[in-house]
Homo-oligomer: A and B are copies of this chain.
Amino acid sequence: MLGQLLLPELRELIQLNDSAGLREFLNALHPATCAEVLDQVSPAENWSVLASAPFEKQAEIFGYFEPARQMRLVESVERPHLSKLIETMAPDDRVDLLKEMDPEHVEALLPLMAQAERNDIRRLLSFPDGSAGSIMTTDYASLSEHITVAEALDQLRRQAPDRETIYYIYILDDDRKLDGFVTLRTLILARPNAKLDEIMERDVFAVRVDDDQEKVAQVMAKYDFLAIPVTDNQNRLVGIITHDDVIDVLQEEATEDVYRAGAMSPLEDSYLATPVRQILWKRGVWLVGLLATGFLSATALKHFRPNATEAEWAVAFLPLVLASGGNSGSQSATLVIRALTIESLSRADCLRLLGRELLMATILGLTLMLEAFLLAMFLETPSKAMVVAMTVFMLVWMGSMAGTLLPLAFKKLGMDPAMMSNPLIAALVDITGGVIYYSVARMVLSQT
């Protein structure tokens, strides 16, 4: 919204080619706001505006563009400018960018950067997507435990300008092993001549470099930390993950779960920033696959078809019975997937969960069975209404059990439980549902 309000002013400055005015414009605004306005001009204009500011400012603003926009910008700038920009960016932001880029392009850029930055980039690039290492930054503040508070504040003042945060300071021994941490709040409150090893907190929660980013987010959300240290397998500090990265992870994971519940592959960018072709693909793959399972259900129904007179009355209730199974199944799946995502369930918890779902499936099944019977009585005879009601009970029960067991099974197999659970359950109910329905019809109606 702010971005659109500021656009006319930016356009005017661009037309006047007023480089001092542009610099002032960029300085007055938060980098996120700058990115929002610049998003609306052409890549060439974007670069000419950015060029008016120092590289530090450029790098900060660039970090706030969405990946799709970054890619378009990267293609329209000369290599020396780009390599300098990347050198200046925060370690975690630049690695996100380089991961999106064509590997050949990256290899061409790296030799233009300083050795130290190059090494840092190569190391961060080596961590797999979704690991703690892939979202951490190496710009952390650290001190030795043998100095005093006054010395610590002095050293911090020197470290501060290029550290992502100086509010949590990590205390390392000579091997860079993590011994403890101290907050800036504690430092400010302590006697200037106290030693750090007297005031530091030795009980540090750290994550491993190869831990899942979802686990990192869980720990941070639970303990309300501002930052969490990341260590290698020898307990040496290699980076930190800050609260803003965790917010990004939480939004990413939640969005993924929502997309999966909606029967499609997750988008990486926002909806309007994602090319239509890409969304079509992410939707199409699922729809084509689900239609194929629909074909299985058609085949089953064709081979198991009732005689013409049965079909005539029964078909009216087919969507009703299938939907009730699908809905209860997607409820169970949603509950189980959320529980698996947010809580860390022990074996006993999983059994409790299974017990609860069994109980609820039975109670909900009986309730809906009664409702279905009463409603169906408006349209059909009691025995036919009974067929509908019994089928509803069975499908609600079956859907709910599938919704409970599938995500647990996916989790056990090391897969994402949110993956394909909802549509798979609906497909399962559709394929078996019709067959169950007609079997019940035959059984009940042949007896009356």
Contact = CB atoms under 8 A, between A and B. Distances in A.
B324 A272 contact: no
Contacts of A301: 315-317, 319
A251 interface: yes
A127 interface: no
Contacts of A246: 247
Contacts of A372: 291
A379 interface: yes
Interface string A290-301: 111011011101
A55 to B, nearest CB: 20
A223 B30 contact: yes
Interface string A332-355: 011111110011111001001100
A52 interface: no
A156 to B, nearest CB: 7
A123 B276 CA distance: 49
Contacts of A110: none
B279 A346 contact: no
A298 B312 CA distance: 12
A4 B346 contact: yes
Interface string A304-316: 0100110111011
Nearest to A434: B319
Interface stretch (A10-18, A174-182, A230-238, A261-269): A261-269
Contacts of A334: 258-259, 261-264
Given A276-B360, A305-B316, 14 more contacts: A1-B344, A32-B223, A221-B251, A226-B226, A250-B251, A258-B258, A271-B338, A280-B363, A286-B331, A288-B368, A292-B371, A298-B317, A299-B378, A327-B423
Interface of A: 1, 4, 28-30, 32, 153, 156-157, 160-161, 166-167, 184-185, 188-189, 203, 205, 220-224, 226, 243-244, 246-248, 250-251, 254-255, 257-259, 261-264, 267, 270-272, 276, 279-280, 283-284, 286-288, 290-292, 294-295, 297-299, 301-302, 305, 308-309, 311-313, 315-324, 327-328, 330-331, 333-339, 342-346, 349, 352-353, 356, 359-360, 363-364, 367-368, 371-372, 375-376, 378-379, 392, 396, 422-423, 426-427, 430, 433-434
25 contacts: A32-B222, A153-B188, A160-B185, A221-B244, A246-B247, A251-B254, A263-B327, A263-B330, A263-B334, A264-B331, A270-B339, A270-B342, A271-B339, A272-B343, A276-B356, A276-B359, A279-B356, A284-B367, A287-B324, A287-B327, A287-B328, A287-B331, A290-B324, A291-B323, A302-B313
Which 10 A-B pairs rank lowest in CB-CB distance, beginning with the nearest? Answer: A262-B334, A254-B254, A294-B320, A224-B244, A301-B316, A308-B308, A271-B339, A261-B261, A302-B316, A295-B375
